[in-house]
Structure 1
Amino acid sequence: MATARFRALSITALLGITLAHGTARAEPQASVGVTLGVAGAGLERRLWDATLFHAGVRGDVLFGRAANDELGVGPYAEVLTHAFDELQIGAGVSALAPLLDLFPLVVSTGLYGRWSEDADAVEPGVAAAVFWGIRSYNFHSSYSTSAGLLAQARIGLGASKETSVVLAAQLDVALLGLPFVYAINAIKGPSPEAAPVRRAASAP
């Protein structure tokens, strides 16, 4: 009896340590990207009545992942415009499904508000989106770079009955900033620590 009780306590303690270790490793991972593409928009529930330029910024934070092959869930937020004559701000929930280690599928759904010339007031709406592309788990930082394709369906619930379908490329802000970082470093020249190394290497 005592032996059986000791085994049960040992198994419980081992499970507790394992779960605690797994939870500690599952740190949140944030990502922010710029979306550029086209939007098929229409009023009065007319689908794709006009093709408009789409631009936006979209970011999320996913919880529960500790490796590339694990699921993740968390909030997202976005700011976007179609043809620069309206503004939409939204938020909701995203879920990541690891179809491939480095190419997961991220599905989102949420609400948004729309400011436009064809509406007398802010109009609410619902949105659903699918992202597919590169997004690996970062073992060294809480930020995960991403790049891929984004498809959205947006349905306005206001008087204008606005609808839009968005097809866009999503590019990570960190990747977009690399050329500027390289240019700034090139203009500044080598750091004080690197200059002596370069002089020593070029000396006969």
Structure 2
Amino acid sequence: MATAGRPAALIAALLGVVLVHGTARAEPQASVGVTLGLGGAGLERRLWDTTVFHAGLRGDVLFGRTANDDFGVGPYAEVLTHAFDELQAGAGVSTLVPVLDSFPLVLSAGMYGRWSDDAKAVEPGIAAAVFWGVRSYNFHSRYAMSTGLLAQMRLGLGDSKETALVLAAQVDLALLGLPFVYLFNAMKGPSPEAAPVRRAEATP
């Protein structure tokens, strides 16, 4: 009986090592993006009563991923404005669904607070969002760039009964910063390591 139990114990030990190794490699990956687009907003539950400009900042941290074909779950946070006459800030949970390699769906649901001239106080609300675009797993860093399309449904629970449907492009913050990094490096000039090489090339 003891001999028969040894293979099962060995298999269980090997599975434990594999699972522990896989979990150890599943580091959290963060992403932050700017959202720009249009929103259909309305009060008293009127959907798309007026078209407004949407601008926001949205970021999340996903846990549990080790490759592009893995699911991921984690918190998100956002701050946004519609037509620059109101401010909304919220947070919730995001779930990444790897429908296509490097092009996953990210489903989100959460709550937000809304500050506006048409509200007497801060109004609570619930929001649901779908992101689809480029977001691959980064094997070299805990930051994963993401750029794509974002659709949101926002439902206010305050006295104004505000609703909004948002269609926006989400552009990664790091991608937007690349031109400024290039200009900074160009203005700074060559690095100390490259300067001797240039002088050597210039010498006849």
Per the normalisation by structure 1, the TM-score is 0.98
Q: Deviations over 1:90-143 (max 9, x none)?
A: 000000000111100000000000000000000000000000000000001100
Give the corresponding residue for 1:140: 140
Matched, 1:51 2:36: no
Matched, 1:79 2:64: no
1:82 deviates by 0.3
Supply the AA of the counterpart residue of 1:164: A
Alignment of 1:1-204 (within 5 A): 1-204=1-204
- Write the distance in 2 (CA, Å) between the matches of 1:158 and 1:199: 68
**3-state secondary structure, aligned to 2:197:** helix
Supply the AA of the counterpart residue of 1:91: A
Supply the AA of the counterpart residue of 1:103: F
Please list every run of 5 or more consecutive structure 2 residues that lacks an aligned counterpart in the other structure: none
Q: Identity over the aligned pairs, expressed in percent? A: 77
- Write the distance in 1 (CA, Å) between the matches of 2:33 and 2:130: 14
**3-state secondary structure, aligned to 2:175:** helix
- Write the distance in 1 (CA, Å) between the matches of 2:203 and 2:127: 63
Q: Deviations over 1:142-176 (max 9, x none)?
A: 00000000000000000000000000000000000
Q: Which runs of 4+ in 1 moved over 3 A?
A: none
- Write the distance in 1 (CA, Å) between the matches of 2:27 and 2:41: 38
**3-state secondary structure, aligned to 2:128:** strand
Supply the AA of the counterpart residue of 1:68: N
- Write the distance in 2 (CA, Å) between the matches of 1:9 and 1:166: 54
Question: How many residue pairs end up in the alignment?
Answer: 204
- Write the distance in 1 (CA, Å) between the matches of 2:93 and 2:38: 23
1:202 deviates by 3.4
Supply the AA of the counterpart residue of 2:60: D
- Write the distance in 1 (CA, Å) between the matches of 2:203 and 2:13: 63
- Write the distance in 2 (CA, Å) between the matches of 1:60 and 1:125: 19
1:51 deviates by 0.6
What root-mean-square deviation, in Å, do the aligned CA atoms of Structure 1 and Structure 2 show?
0.7
Supply the AA of the counterpart residue of 2:54: H
Please list every run of 5 or more consecutive structure 1 residues that lacks an aligned counterpart in the other structure: none
- Write the distance in 2 (CA, Å) between the matches of 1:101 and 1:197: 42
**3-state secondary structure, aligned to 2:8:** helix
Supply the AA of the counterpart residue of 1:185: N
1:203 deviates by 3.1
